[in-house]
Structure 1
Amino acid sequence: MAEHADRPAYPVGLRLSGRRVVVVGGGQVAQRRLPALIAAGADIVLVSPSATASVEAMADAGEIRWERRPYADGDLTDTWYALIATDDDAANEAASAEAERTRTWCVRSDDAEAATAWTPATGRSEGVTVAVLTAGAHGRDPRHSAAVRDAIVEGLRDGSIAAPHHRTRTAGVALVGGGPGDPDLITVRGRRLLAEADVVIADRLGPRDLLDELPPHVEVIDAAKIPYGRFMAQEAINNALIEHAKAGKAVVRLKGGDPFVFGRGMEEAQALAAEGIPCTVVPGISSSISVPGAAGIPVTHRGVAHEFTVVSGHVAPDDERSLVDWEALARLRGTLVLLMAVDKIGAIARALIEHGRSPETPVALVQEGTTAAQRRVDATLATVAERASAEGVRPPAVIVIGDVVAVGPATAPTAR
């Protein structure tokens, strides 16, 4: 192979569904490569005396056949593709020689130059597979291949690399959870749908920085400024979603956190369903977990809290509209996470204390969590109302009640 070392590899995609593939060696290399071969539908035979726990689990699940023995001549008979990845040099050489004799495409983890095939750095985005190889006069550099792959895939996912779809798109609405505020915490799928949208109807608490990245032709509608007043706001949002979808537009409803965690996402999905409009729900990272985490607070911790409860605090405990059993919550030993509760925290703290929760229970208020403006104010149930007022805590803020507040590291992690 030395005389061909300066020649570029010829790129090709192997269709291995139902075809015999032999993997020699059950270590870390096999563990990394097997999932893609399984996904390709290959008929996989693993030849190895031992295997990692993950590889063994694949065999136990019936995804591969495992012959628990060393390589033997003839193992590559009728094989389309072979991966040689053992720590036995003699076995690697023998298997490679058999692959050469039988004209079997063969990858070697120990000696790429002795192989007849190379495994590219691959990534996928919406049905597109990106495969990158570096070769030639400067030699193979897998790390450079991986870096190029990552840049391309990320560009396809976030829309910074234009890849227009030359097909008719189906109009509809995607309810996208934007996460707690940091634009990097939106899901990959959510960011891709944003890049493909014709219309974006955005919440005030959504990741606003992402709106600056949208192409000029995208219409951005501020849901907080849709007319008809506070009482009719949700109906107006529903009407806007329906109107633009019926006009043949790809619409993204960008919401803070997760659409179905106090996000009224189901109301919007029901309104769309009633009009026969396709709706896709893209879950988001809920602020109920991510914001405490960004402030160094685990909502559960071994030996401290075995459960956490997320509660909407927009209605006071003594309000007849409240659906929350505050007496039951006060008896719980785990963590309480309150959303939309800044202006009701005094009444909530009093209710919890009245029903038996200790006044000394630690409380943390995390304002604008995961953003550059994040700040944390600590108190107890007995002092939280006074502390929140004195410190000028304002929405959006997540309030954490429980012993986990005192568990975190001495120095809280950075917000972004």
Structure 2
Amino acid sequence: MSTSLPPHNGQRTAGSCTLVGAGPGDPELLTLKAVKAIGAASVLFVDDLVNDAVLAYARPDARIVHVGKRGGCKSTPQAFIEKLMIAAAREGEAVVRLKGGDPFIFGRGGEEVEHLRAAGIAVTVVNGITAGLAAVTSLGVPLTHRQHAHGVVFVTGHAQPGSLGPDWRQLAATAHSARLTLVIYMGVSGAGHIQNELLMGLPASTPVAVIQNASLPTQRHITSTLGALADAIQAGGMASPSIIVVGDVMAGVALAASHPEAVRAA
């Protein structure tokens, strides 16, 4: 799905900008619309988590600017990226902002759209498969299930500086009573704190999976219980980028592993 958003002032500039979700890593998970947008771009501003293989769809004369954005690592300041995008669009370039996963799920796409529209630049957004979905699918289990999970919550484990972050205790209580799956992005570094807070509302026996490098050949995962989460992450040497999934649907990982021919992720 893509959405075209007009500028706030109603006046278009000569250039254009498209925010494109590059998906979780596997280039075959790109949408057709994403491939078309990448191929039409004269300049691409590329996040660090985007697989280099995705750039094969760019035209030969396109200018590729790596602006690396990865939690916990040195990266280009967000304000500077926005200035680069605005400047390129005003110069008449066909700009693509290529982001890992989906631009509107923990990709700061909303902030970029606001700044571009305020500068008089119309923006199109092309959705991508988010890592939280790809990670669980790769294990052969669903995020929702009529018997085990009536909904799913995507939440970030990386709090904005000066912010307390999510209310994990409230999330745990809600997930327990409403039978929800919790999908936690950028939570590995704070896993100990997250675990302790979630245990205030969820049983220690709640199944958990941690998936690193979802959809890539280097993907690996561990399974655990909520009560042993932090120790399991340390023992398994799990690092970013990883997705933590908490909920009863994760009990199906063992079943999928014992019947690999039954469910196979693309």
Give TM-score scaled by structure 1 length.
Answer: 0.55
Q: Is the 8 A contact 1:315 1:344 kept in 2?
A: no
Q: Is the 8 A contact 2:205 2:226 kept in 1?
A: yes
Find the partner of 1:308 among 134, 152, 160: 152
Other-structure match for 2:197: 351
1:414–1:181 distance in 2 versus 1, CA, 3 Å: farther
Q: Is the 8 A contact 2:16 2:94 kept in 1?
A: yes
The one-letter code of the counterpart of 1:238 is E
Deviation at 1:216, TM superposition (A): 2.5
Deviation at 1:384, TM superposition (A): 1.2
CA distance in 2, matches of 1:411, 1:378: 17
Deviation at 1:322, TM superposition (A): 2.4
Deviation at 1:348, TM superposition (A): 0.3
Other-structure match for 1:215: 59
The one-letter code of the counterpart of 1:328 is Q
CA distance in 2, matches of 1:241, 1:396: 26
1:178 lines up with 2:7 in the alignment: no
Other-structure match for 2:181: 335
CA distance in 1, matches of 2:41, 2:84: 15
Other-structure match for 1:390: 235
Q: Is the 8 A contact 2:211 2:219 kept in 1?
A: yes
User: Which runs of 5 or more structure 1 residues have no equivalent in the other structure?
Assistant: 1-168
Deviation at 1:414, TM superposition (A): 5.5
CA distance in 2, matches of 1:222, 1:244: 14
User: Which runs of 5 or more structure 2 residues have no equivalent in the other structure?
Assistant: 1-12
Find the partner of 1:370 among 210, 215, 239: 215
Q: Is the 8 A contact 1:179 1:258 kept in 2?
A: yes
CA distance in 2, matches of 1:216, 1:257: 24
Q: Is the 8 A contact 1:205 1:256 kept in 2?
A: yes
Large movers: runs of 4+ above 2 Å? 212-216, 229-232, 410-416
The one-letter code of the counterpart of 1:351 is E
Other-structure match for 1:224: 68
CA distance in 1, matches of 2:171, 2:206: 13
1:279 lines up with 2:119 in the alignment: no
CA distance in 2, matches of 1:415, 1:347: 32
CA distance in 1, matches of 2:156, 2:77: 19
1:242 lines up with 2:90 in the alignment: no
Larger Rg: 1
Deviation at 1:187, TM superposition (A): 1.2
1:206–1:324 distance in 2 versus 1, CA, 3 Å: same
Pairs aligned (count): 242
CA distance in 1, matches of 2:58, 2:205: 48
Cα deviation per residue 1:391-414 (whole Å; 9 max; x = unaligned)? 111111111001100124234556
The one-letter code of the counterpart of 2:212 is Q
CA distance in 2, matches of 1:231, 1:392: 24
Q: Percent identity?
A: 38
The aligned runs of 1:52-131 (5 Å cut-off) are none
Deviation at 1:301, TM superposition (A): 1.0
Q: Per the alignment, in what secondary structure is the counterpart of residue 366 of structure 1?
A: strand
Q: Per the alignment, in what secondary structure is the counterpart of residue 92 of structure 2?
A: coil
Q: Per the alignment, in what secondary structure is the counterpart of residue 169 of structure 2?
A: helix
Q: Per the alignment, in what secondary structure is the counterpart of residue 249 of structure 2?
A: helix
Q: Per the alignment, in what secondary structure is the counterpart of residue 356 of structure 1?
A: coil
CA distance in 1, matches of 2:182, 2:213: 18
The one-letter code of the counterpart of 2:225 is T
The aligned runs of 1:26-41 (5 Å cut-off) are none
Deviation at 1:241, TM superposition (A): 0.4
The one-letter code of the counterpart of 1:368 is N
The one-letter code of the counterpart of 2:226 is L
Give TM-score scaled by structure 2 length.
Answer: 0.85
